[in-house]
Structure 1
Amino acid sequence: MSGLLVAGTTSDAGKSAVTTGLCRAFARRGVAVAPYKAQNMSNNSMVCVAADGSTAEIGRAQWVQALAARVRPEPAMNPVLLKPGSDRRSHVVLLGHPAGEVSSADWQTGRRQLARTAHAAYDDLATRFELIVAEGAGSPTEINLRAGDYVNMGLARHAGLPTIVVGDIDRGGVFAAMYGTVALLDAADQSLVAGFVVNKFRGDADLLSPGLRSLERLTGRQVYGVLPWDPTLWLDSEDGLDPGSRRAATGARHRVAVVRLPRISNFTDVDALGLEPDLDVVFVSDPRELTDADLLVLPGTRSTLADLAWLRDRGLDAAIVEHVRRGKPLLGVCGGFQMLGRTIADPSGVEGSPGAEVDGLGLLDVRTDFVAEKTLGLPVGEALGAPASGYEIHHGRITRGNGEDFLGGMRTGTVFGTMWHGSLEGDELRGALLGEMLGRPPSTIRFAAAREARLDRLGDLVEGHLDVDSLLTLARDGVPTVPVLPPGGVR
């Protein structure tokens, strides 16, 4: 079997971008390639369809990487998805379905079962695809976690994967980070690290060359290329917010304020709005930042009750109600929609203490009751005279009172609520909704084409700046003999 592990010196070094770009580059060469990430920790997820026809949940990044590879997304591409519920506890999604929780206290015990499932999923993919491009998590040199690692070098050892290390030069210290990443590994792990990719470079390439040559000489490993800084390039994010990437360059006529909830999830829902040239999409967390918003979006959240309490603590609840009182439009999605209702109840303790029941913002006549069974779906329908589709990921069950139906939710006046993530990606629906809310003409933006163009742009960057042929040979033939660097790993 052929494969490649894309590791990084740090989180957000560019592993996802390099993995996505390589998937597109290899697919262009006619290789049957699949993405894979053993474990993803993210509240940005997506619904896909498993081989048996059931719906399943995977990380958003792997779903996009499958599009880049031109293959159907499936649960084996992200067998373990951890959705943080608190600083020390995460909800586990195993092969697309809920599988309890794991905490820092039982981490080592819990990881053994997760590792078996993750590695079996990799082995399954490897029987069905010519090549697997696996994305690591964080750094492969988390020496405090190495004993239970199954995502980075634990995966590389399991499958004999040659590994490249991506470093973000924009952060500074990239050469030390790359050398140190290798040197702190033990000899067996070091033997699988083939080389490096420098990411986010801007400046004079001649000034970088001496450092690259020294890194190759000191490590005995190849630098496979340098990817340039491209501020226009962004993909569906999995970890953090990058509000600047969604902001209009100049001339925006309308300001869209998205509430930056502490446990925000699936904030890719607003990506389509960020492509509209007349919309300036900003993330806000202060009530004063809502005063001049033309449209307010209350997004999804991993913890509706906790984030509703946060809204109230900051006075954002009053600012939201005042926004509506002034006749301005408001869109709530999933957890954000639930907050807009009359009552939110948690009889079984899905989000916290069993029996909790609190008042919502009272802007829509709905009640939410959390239940243990998660809803996963890919609904289709019609709204505002336009075809509509999206995906559902939630535990809340909605009981509606008076109001107009709207995308599995409700509309009352200028307040819209929906349980359908991703619905704004539909061009006709987005145009109709923005026309209704902001009185603007239909959009000329085609979201699916824009996403495909971004994937092609990333593929072009990888083709133009990385030695793709050598990386393909590396994935097929394995790592050549490489030296062990002192100190040869911390034990």
Structure 2
Amino acid sequence: MRGSLLVAGTTSDAGKSVVTAGICRWLARQGVKVAPYKAQNMSLNSFVTADGAEIGRAQAMQAAACGLEPSADMNPILLKPGSDRRSQVVVMGRPLADVDAMEYWDVKDRLRQVAVDALERLRDTYDVVVCEGAGSPAEINLRRGDIANMGLARAASLPVIVVGDIDRGGVFASLYGTVALLEPADQALIAGFVINKFRGARELLEPGLDMIRDLTGREVYGVLPWLDGLWLDVEDSLALDNRPAIGARTPYGRQTLRVAVVRLPRISNFTDVDALASEPGVVVRFVTSPAELDDADLVVLPGSRATVSDLAWLRATGLADALRGRVVLGICGGYQMLARTIHDGVESGAGRVEGLGLLPATVEFAAEKTLGRPVGEAYGCRVAAYEIHHGVVTAEGGDPFLDGCRSGSVWGTTWHGALENDDFRRAFLADVAAVSGRDFTPAPDVSFAALREERLDALGDLIEHHVDTAALLRLLEGGAPRGLPLLPPGGAPREAPDFSHNRSVGGER
């Protein structure tokens, strides 16, 4: 079997990433050689591949669903917002430039071929490539330069399934409207729908499924039930808006350990704390005000794409003062904020800025981004991690801690993913409990890697049990059904980019 398809969504956070991962895991379990792909990703949650390339964290998770080591081809273009108007453009795992929203349109023409070439390499290597769209294909103001949704689907002749989130309401209007707003050539590739996050009586939903089939002439390939506990390497901080405190509230010992994660405006790699929530008796919540720190045994100051700006936000909200005297772990950008001074002529251009002074360290921003997969030791435990930063921190005192330092009840490191190392995580939490005076004992047998595999299998099960998998196979092998009806108004026809010169277009694969 050989083929590809595109998983699009009616909105951001509709479930594209998890549906893509679920299809990948389901196919991999059938023995299919499958890989994920996302042409353009806008996310502050990223990962470093074995050869030092930076890609979206969601694509690394999808690669794990396929049983693969991730590669830059799986996410050739990554946008990392530093403000509402400017983003760092990462191309094939390496930073290219910082551009504003309008400047990116000039860059985009050069990137289109990069994205198509990456997909072509994957299609040459694997039997199936499951592509994920970005945002919504119905963002008609962006269609002219689109390289992630229908522009990609047209370029590579991909059948498209559209995922809608029923939990947020208006799913049928969103599905219908998504198709109706597209121009005819784009509509012809929309094969059908998947409804995500359903909870309730299926009998009440059935009439709507019949009506959307009649109205659009397209199949509803499946209805995925709501599934708790799937906080799995999400790429969008919007997912935090409705995220409750997570973790096991039943203590393993006699007490729970409460972790407060500061939700910075430009928070990055917040998935670092998912491993903490996997521990019995550890409850993790995201906070934005000093009062929310009152009962916290540990405060995590996570990564940031805008260290100096987010440090100013900490001061403006009063959180900077509230951190003093508390048990704190700073990771990457959070570690930089804890230092005495920050010299930033790169990210913000602010020059010398006073840090919080909770750790004896200084920060100097370098033009070259550090990308790596370091290995070290702490608490006598081996620690494998990854790092992504421009800020270079020099510890000038305190006790060594991974690549950073510790002073009293404050720890700092630039390493992401360190808490996924089970022995290290348990030793660190035991130390936190001792410092905070909490009677807490970490469980001895929690494997975060095994938990991630269980979650990926749960996503594969969702596809296997709740989606018409025979129809998915037909799409992969045969493309979008021919003769799909056009919906009024059908969108105003626009001149589509010409990809006819690319090897990935035209002809049967």
- The reply to whether TM is greater than 0.5 is yes
8 Å Cα contact 1:46/1:391 also seen in 2:
yes
- What CA deviation, in whole Å up to 9, does each residue of 1:316-350 have, x standing for no partner? 11111132xxxxx211111111111111001xx21
The answer to whether structure 1 residue 341 and structure 2 residue 339 are counterparts is yes
**1:132 corresponds to which of 123, 129, 133:** 129
> Matched residue of 1:322: which SS?
coil
CA distance in 1: counterparts of 2:15 and 2:243, whole angstroms: 18
Query: What aligned pairs does 1:199-210 form with structure 2 within 5 A after superposition?
Result: 199-210=196-207
- What CA deviation, in whole Å up to 9, does each residue of 1:349-380 have, x standing for no partner? 211226x1111111111110001000011111
8 Å Cα contact 2:247/2:281 also seen in 1:
no
Aligned to 2:487: 485
Instruction: Give the superposition deviation at 1:247.
Output: 4.0
Instruction: Give the superposition deviation at 1:107.
Output: 3.3
Aligned to 1:190: 187
CA distance in 2: counterparts of 1:269 and 1:8, whole angstroms: 26
Give the percent of matched residue pairs that are identical in Structure 1 and Structure 2: 59
The answer to whether structure 1 residue 318 and structure 2 residue 321 are counterparts is yes
CA distance in 1: counterparts of 2:229 and 2:390, whole angstroms: 36
CA distance in 2: counterparts of 1:177 and 1:415, whole angstroms: 47
Query: What aligned pairs does 1:294-333 form with structure 2 within 5 A after superposition?
Result: 294-323=297-326, 329-333=327-331
Query: What aligned pairs does 1:26-65 form with structure 2 within 5 A after superposition?
Result: 26-49=27-50, 54-65=51-62
- What CA deviation, in whole Å up to 9, does each residue of 1:262-312 have, x standing for no partner? 111001110011111211111111111112211111111111111111111
Aligned to 2:498: none
- What CA deviation, in whole Å up to 9, does each residue of 1:134-180 have, x standing for no partner? 00011111111111001000000010000001111112211111111
The answer to whether structure 1 residue 278 and structure 2 residue 287 are counterparts is no
8 Å Cα contact 1:243/1:281 also seen in 2:
no
Query: What aligned pairs does 1:143-222 form with structure 2 within 5 A after superposition?
Result: 143-222=140-219
Aligned to 1:75: 72
Instruction: Give the superposition deviation at 1:245.
Output: 5.9
Aligned to 2:229: 232
Partner amino acid, structure 2, of 1:147:
R
TM-score calculated relative to the size of structure 1: 0.95
Aligned to 1:246: 246
How many correspondences in the alignment? Answer: 479
CA distance in 2: counterparts of 1:39 and 1:245, whole angstroms: 31
The answer to whether structure 1 residue 373 and structure 2 residue 375 are counterparts is no
The answer to whether structure 1 residue 255 and structure 2 residue 258 are counterparts is yes
CA distance in 2: counterparts of 1:478 and 1:138, whole angstroms: 22
User: 393-402 vs 58-67, which deviates more?
Assistant: 393-402
Aligned to 1:326: none
**1:420 corresponds to which of 380, 402, 415:** 415
- What CA deviation, in whole Å up to 9, does each residue of 1:82-127 have, x standing for no partner? 0001111100110001100221222322211121211111111111
CA distance in 2: counterparts of 1:473 and 1:263, whole angstroms: 42
Query: What aligned pairs does 1:452-491 form with structure 2 within 5 A after superposition?
Result: 452-481=453-482, 482-491=484-493
Aligned to 1:142: 139
CA distance in 1: counterparts of 2:98 and 2:339, whole angstroms: 28
User: 74-83 vs 199-208, which deviates more?
Assistant: 199-208
> Matched residue of 2:323: which SS?
helix
8 Å Cα contact 2:245/2:284 also seen in 1:
no
8 Å Cα contact 2:40/2:78 also seen in 1:
yes
Query: What aligned pairs does 1:395-414 form with structure 2 within 5 A after superposition?
Result: 395-414=390-409
CA distance in 1: counterparts of 2:320 and 2:176, whole angstroms: 49
Instruction: Give the superposition deviation at 1:199.
Output: 0.7
CA distance in 1: counterparts of 2:147 and 2:32, whole angstroms: 26
- What CA deviation, in whole Å up to 9, does each residue of 1:374-424 have, x standing for no partner? 001111111011111110000111222122111110011221111110000
> Matched residue of 1:233: which SS?
coil
> Matched residue of 1:68: which SS?
helix
> Matched residue of 2:235: which SS?
coil
8 Å Cα contact 1:234/1:245 also seen in 2:
no
8 Å Cα contact 1:248/1:281 also seen in 2:
no
